[in-house]
């Protein structure tokens, strides 16, 4: 037995669907809550091509921070100038 294709079905909602009872509906309903729990950073195309996952980006940035902290600790103090380490 053949079933009807989706395109041949009428494009109507059933009468029992009452959307007036919905308190909030629409696009971006959870956007504010999502933004509070995440920090999204957009990468330029050339960078995104090299770093194919967020784990790779995080690992590289952590390595860079460690390198910067260690490099700044080794800098000599010159005539009253103090180099502050990266926090």
CA distances from 34 to 38, 47, 53, 58 (A): 6, 25, 20, 20
Q: Is residue 71 part of a domain?
A: yes
Beta bridge partners, 78, equal 81
CB 85 within 8 A of CB 73: yes
Task: Enter the DSSP assignment of 2.
Answer: P
Q: Is residue 16 part of a domain?
A: no
**CA–CA separation, 74 and 77 (whole Å):** 9
Task: Label residue 40 by pLDDT band (50, 70, 90).
Answer: confident
Task: Label residue 44 by pLDDT band (50, 70, 90).
Answer: very high
Domain count, the chain: 1
Dump pLDDT digits (tens) for 59-82. 999 999 999 998 887 767 666 655
Dump pLDDT digits (tens) for 22-37. 766 667 777 777 777 7
Q: Is residue 37 part of a domain?
A: yes
Q: Is residue 75 part of a domain?
A: yes
Domain that holds residue 83: 27-87
């Amino acid at each position: 037995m053949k079933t009807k294709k989706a395109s041949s079905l009428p494009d109507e909602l059933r009468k029992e669907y009452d959307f007036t009872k919905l308190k909030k509906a629409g696009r971006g309903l959870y956007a504010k809550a999502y933004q509070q729990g995440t920090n999204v950073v957009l990468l330029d195309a050339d960078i995104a091509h090299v770093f194919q996952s967020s784990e790779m980006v995080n690992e590289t940035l952590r390595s860079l921070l460690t390198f910067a902290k260690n490099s700044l600790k080794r800098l000599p103090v010159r005539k009253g100038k103090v180099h502050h380490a990266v926090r």
